[in-house]
Structures are given as structure tokens and as C-alpha cells.
Structure 1
Amino acid sequence: MTDHATPPQPSPQPPSELPPPPPAPPAAPALAPLGTSEVIGTAPQAPAAPAAPAAPETPEEREARLARRTRRRRAALRWSTATLVFALAGTGAALAVTAPERTDIPGLATASDGRYTFPPLALPPLPAGKSAPDPKGKGLHQADLRHLLLPTPKEAGGPLTAPTFPAPSAPPSAGPSASASASASAPASPAASATASPAPSATGPAPADWVPCDAVLAEQQNPAALRALLVQDACRAATVREWTASDGTRTQIRLLRFGSSAESWDVFSSLRSDSLPKALPGVRVAAREGWDAVPGIDLSTKETSVNGAKGTPTARLAYLSASDVLAVITMTNPDGVPAAAFRQVVTLQSDLLA
């Protein structure tokens, strides 16, 4: 047998040096006790040295400090006074602008659209125990018919004071056999007429008074049919007011009283459909877009087909039916009747009759 040599065993090596262990984490700083502001790990700070006492104020410094304080107080007082003055001036200017009428302030006056300036409207007193028509037009007008006419505007010389009315008196009346003109021409008595007539104005037109019912016939091209209606429906009384404004527009308002709303409506229907005034050629029915309806009033308007220099019709008419009272409003102007003035007159007269 052949002996095999055992391979030599490696000699033991000296143990290699182990890697150094990782450094240990730094220890957490210990918490400082409550109430201390010192930071752990830092050297304690020495307490601050007490401030040196301030030097005493000299008289000059004291006077300078008081002078600065006085100047600040005076400046504050001046600014407060200026602010108050500006506030008062602004308030006064606002009152000066808003207190008077806009038309009385130069530069703020609105251009006139043709409307008139009327005094405050007032209704006349009713006789004892009598009542006015209700908003639906039922009932009769018991007040003096002449005092239900629209007053004269300022532009025609009328006063701007509210009208004053005498004690109510009975309207003129007549029996069934009397004619229309006779029933309207005579008041109840001369004494009643004298007390009921308003005092004439020194500058305005003559006051309204009773007129015959058939006075309206002179304005019609065909008065025969209207005359028959006035007699058939027994017109009881009539009155008229006329004025010419500074713009050249002539206004006439007639009021006719009947014994019932049915009689008044009969004449109203005839006028609005068949009326042909003499001096107003080409009269046609006019539209009333945007007009405010007055309760208890039926309204029909007409105008001429001829326009004046202002581009508006030279004549406008309105017929109002208010229970037992019929109103005929005629406004003419060769240059054209302003639509605003016509609408204003019709609306205000409607308000007095409603």
C-alpha cells in the first residue's frame, strides 16, 4: 500500500483586528427644571447687570418735552376743528340743495315737458247728509259743480294757494218739463249764487259760473242730434272754465250734470263716437298708451290729424264720464298741444270727479 501523505494543516493565523464599534449616540440632554430658561449643555449665563439709574431731567429737557406735547395737542385740535368745519359745510350744502325745489336751483332745473303748475287740489264740502260717489262710480255728485272744475294753473295767471270754498249750496234744478238750457241757466237763488261764486282773482281769469247746457252746441258741426240728447236726458246744470297758458295752449273744460249716470252715459257715448267740433278739422280717435286708469272714470280721447311746429296735434279732446257728470276737455295750440300737458289736465280733472 502506498501511504498517502496528509496535507499539511494551515498554521493558525493570528486573529485579525475587529472593526471598531460604532460610536455611541450622544446622550439626551437632561430636561431643565420648570421655571428656568437655561439651555442644557451650555454654560450658565451670568445675570444681567442692573441698568444704571437715569440721569435726572434737566429743566431745559423738561421744557422741550412739554413744548412737544403742547404742539401735538394743538395740531390735533386744529385737525379736529377743520374736520368739524368741513362736515358742517357739507351738511349745509346738502340742505341748501335738497331743501328748495329742483327747478329753483340754477343748473339743476329740469327742462319743462309742457306740464303746468297747479295749486294743491281740494274737494269742496258736501251738503249735510250727502255723500260722494263711491270708487266704482255709483252715486251722484252732491258738491257744487263749479268747485269740481280744475283750477287755473300758474302758467295762466292762477294762484298757487289752495282754493277755499264757501258753505255748500243746492245746485240749480228744474222740473221735468223745463228745457235743458233753462234748467242750467238759473241757480237756486240769487243769494245762493252770490255766496257760492268764488272771488275773482286780480290777475287770473274770471271765476267759473253757471252756463246753459246748450252752450256746448255752438262748438259742434251738427248740433241738432246733441240738442235732442240734452233735452231727452235732462241736463240739469253746466259750468265752464277756460285759460290760455304762456305756451299759447288754450284750455276749455266743461262740466255737465245729469239726473243719473245712465243719462250722463248716453250723452258721453254720443260725443265720443259722433262728435265733430267745428274748429278742429280731421278729428280722430287717439290712442292712450301708458295712461293711468282713474277708478270710476270712463275716458275717451281724440286729436286732430294736423300737427303744429312742435310736431304734435294742434288740438286734443277728452270726454270723461263720472257717474252723473260729463266733462268735455278741449286743448288747442297752433304750434301743437304738448302731450304731457294734455295728459296732466285730463288726469287731474278725473281725480276731482272720481
Structure 2
Amino acid sequence: MTDSATPQDTAAPAGGPALPEEAHGPAVEETGPALGESAAAAPEDGERTALRARRRRAAVRWGAAVAVCALAGTGTALAVTAQERTDLPGLATPKDGRYTFPALTLPQLPSGRAVPKENTNRHAAPLRGLLLPVPVEAGGSPTASAAPAAGGRASASASTSPSPSAPAIESATPSGTPSVSGTPLAGGAEDRVACDAVAAAWSDPGVLRALLLQHACRDAAVREWTAADGTRTQIRLLSFGSRAEAWPLFDRLQTRGALKDAPALEHGDTTGWDAVPGVELAVRELSGAPSGTRVALLSAGDVTGVITMTNPKGVATAAFRQVVTLQSDLLA
């Protein structure tokens, strides 16, 4: 008996045996996802490449910015530190009356004189060499002058009157023979004076002259100048044989001394001043500022110093302290 054809046999294609339904499904499924993945991978790779490029550009920009800032900061620091502080805009110290002095140098000791031992309270250097130099504002030189030679003292006549044509410093040596110490410097004046000339400025000259005679003042040196602001400064140094002989003059002036031209001067306060070891300091000035006259008294071993600064418009406090401190440094 012959088998009859089924509907499935009738539906099969004529070109060959019919493939199972399972064979068609997987073939379509394998082809579809493979094409989709390749299509999606291309945009993702492009985005990654663009992102990396953007990051590289950002890194380059930030690196350049940091380098520029570092170079600018370094250049600014070099420009600021290379200049003096007072030359920088906004940092310059306002003018307060202080002067411009040359570098302070100690004088040379006389030939054959050894450096004094500590705590001897004796000065071996020439008295004139211990005077504060003239500031630039009074015509002085900004550079330190050479120390005076030990043998540069010339003899003078016995006259004690000042000589305007040949200003010098006259003092009595232990033998009683007057001598001239030094020559005037540019911008300043060194007047010929005896040891007791300091007494003429005070209200009790007789007492002071007696002290100078009793304790044998050995030498006197004076330096004066008038600055551009009108302040007149006078520095007197008087040397004795020892600290014990120099102290009575200092003590008398600081306790009961009164200037003839400014009898109302009071004892000034030196709190906050720069202390100079080995130098006693006393100040006389008016209690109210500005004071037209200021006086400083110094005691440094065998030397007594008197500093007087006057100006009708008032003596600047900063200038007064500066002169006193620097002169004390030279005597210390």
C-alpha cells in the first residue's frame, strides 16, 4: 500500500530536503547580535579617544598655567629681595628726622699702646677719634674717614681764646701745656676749647670749673654741626685719669645741672632706649614735645660726654636718640 503525502511534505521546498525548524532559528540569532556589537563598538572607541585627547589638552593647559605662576612668583621674589626695603613703593620708612652717618669705625691706637683689658674703664684711643662723625645731612661724607694718625697732633700757642680762622680743639695735658687735637672735618666745626669751656653753658660754671680742676681733666674734644632741618648738634667729650675722676662731673650735671639757655629742662625718661653696655646715660629735656633743646649726659669709664641738640622748631626724638646711641657705641 502506498503512503500518502502529508501536509508537511507538501510544504517542503523542491530543491532538497527540508531543514528542521531548529536550524533556522539559531542561524538568525547568531548573525543579528554580531552585527549589532560591531556597530556599537565603533562609537564607543571614538568617544574614548576624544576623552583621552581632551584630558591631555587639559593637562597641558594646567601644566602651562602652573609653570607661568611659578616663574612669575620667582621673578617677583627676586625683584623684591634684590632691592633695599626702603626703595620699594609702600615700604619706605617715613622720614622721622634721623640722619645718615658713615659706617662707624674705631680709631687706631697710638703706636706702642696695647688694647686695654676689659673692665679697665680706660680709653687708649685719641679722644677726637671717638667723636661721632658729621652726618650727610650736615655736609658730611657717607664714607668713613681714615683714623687719625697717632702723631698728628700739633702744638699751639698758650692762648685759650677761640680762633675762627683756625678752628681746633685745645686741651690741657697733664704737664699743663695746651695742645691742639685734630683738624676740622667737612660740614662740621671743631672749636678750640679748654676743658673748662663746657662749664660756660651751665648755670653754675664756678662749681664745674672747680670739679674739672680738682679731678684733673686731661683732654677735651668738640664736634658741632647744623643739619638741613635747622637742628644744631654739639658733642663734647672730656677725658680724665680714671672713671673715679670722671664720675663727679657727670653726677653733678645729671643731678643739679641746669643750662643757662634752657633752665626749665627736666629729667627725661630713658625707658625703651637702646642700652649700651658700659655707658651711663642721663637725659634732660622739656616734658612736653616737641622740645627745642635736648641734652644727653654720658659716662663711659674715664670719659664724660655732653650732647646738646637745639632747634626752635623742636628736636626730633628719633634724631636725638640716634645721635646719643651712636656716640655711646663709640665710647663703649
TM-score by length of 1: 0.67
- Residue by residue over 1:267-289, the C-alpha shift from the partner in whole angstroms, topping out at 9 and shown as x without a partner, is 21222223222222312222222
The residue number in structure 2 matching 1:253 is 235
**Superposed, which structure 2 residues align to 1:80-159 within 5 Å?**
80-127=63-110, 128-132=112-116, 134=118, 136=119, 138-159=120-141
Q: Report the AA paired with residue 115 of structure 2.
A: S
SS in 1 for 2:282: strand
The residue number in structure 1 matching 2:327 is 349
**Superposed, which structure 2 residues align to 1:174-185 within 5 Å?**
176=174, 178=176, 182-183=177-178, 185=179
Give the distance between the partners of 1:232 and 1:171, measured in 2 at CA: 26
SS in 2 for 1:293: coil
Structure 2 gaps, min length 5: 1-29, 39-44, 155-170
Give the distance between the partners of 1:240 and 1:68, measured in 2 at CA: 86
Quick check: which one's helix share is greater? 2
Give the distance between the partners of 2:194 and 2:63, measured in 1 at CA: 75
Asked which structure has the greater CA Rg, the reply is 1
The residue number in structure 2 matching 1:224 is 206
Distance of aligned partners of 1:119 and 1:267 in 2 relative to their CA distance in 1, 3 Å threshold: same
Distance of aligned partners of 1:275 and 1:349 in 2 relative to their CA distance in 1, 3 Å threshold: same
8 A contact 1:145–1:171 mirrored in 2: no
- Residue by residue over 1:104-145, the C-alpha shift from the partner in whole angstroms, topping out at 9 and shown as x without a partner, is 2222223233332322222122234422463x4x23101121
8 A contact 2:189–2:224 mirrored in 1: no
Q: CA deviation at 1:319?
A: 0.9
**Superposed, which structure 2 residues align to 1:1-354 within 5 Å?**
76-77=59-60, 79-127=62-110, 128-132=112-116, 134=118, 136=119, 138-169=120-151, 176=174, 178=176, 182-183=177-178, 185-187=179-181, 197=183, 200-201=185-186, 205-206=187-188, 208=190, 211-304=193-286, 307=288, 311-354=289-332
The residue number in structure 2 matching 1:40 is none
Give the distance between the partners of 1:176 and 1:246, measured in 2 at CA: 39
8 A contact 1:133–1:323 mirrored in 2: no
8 A contact 1:153–1:159 mirrored in 2: yes
Q: Report the AA paired with residue 247 of structure 1.
A: D
Q: Report the AA paired with residue 315 of structure 2.
A: V
Distance of aligned partners of 1:176 and 1:255 in 2 relative to their CA distance in 1, 3 Å threshold: closer
SS in 2 for 1:340: helix
8 A contact 1:251–1:330 mirrored in 2: yes
8 A contact 2:121–2:300 mirrored in 1: no
Give the distance between the partners of 1:229 and 1:133, measured in 2 at CA: 28
Structure 1 gaps, min length 5: 1-48, 56-61, 188-192
8 A contact 2:276–2:328 mirrored in 1: yes
- Residue by residue over 1:295-339, the C-alpha shift from the partner in whole angstroms, topping out at 9 and shown as x without a partner, is 21122111135x5xxx32211111111111111000112122222
Q: CA deviation at 1:159?
A: 2.6
Give the distance between the partners of 2:205 and 2:69, measured in 1 at CA: 72
RMSD: 3.6
SS in 1 for 2:68: helix
Q: CA deviation at 1:99?
A: 3.0
Q: CA deviation at 1:222?
A: 3.1
Q: Report the AA paired with residue 264 of structure 2.
A: G
Q: CA deviation at 1:174?
A: 5.9
SS in 2 for 1:335: coil
- Residue by residue over 1:20-51, the C-alpha shift from the partner in whole angstroms, topping out at 9 and shown as x without a partner, is xxxxxxxxxxxxxxxxxxxxxxxxxxxxx9x9
Identity %: 56
TM-score by length of 2: 0.71
8 A contact 2:232–2:309 mirrored in 1: yes
Q: Which moved more, 1:255-264 or 1:160-169?
A: 160-169
SS in 1 for 2:74: helix
8 A contact 2:234–2:307 mirrored in 1: yes
Give the distance between the partners of 1:155 and 1:296, measured in 2 at CA: 29
8 A contact 1:281–1:304 mirrored in 2: no
SS in 2 for 1:95: helix
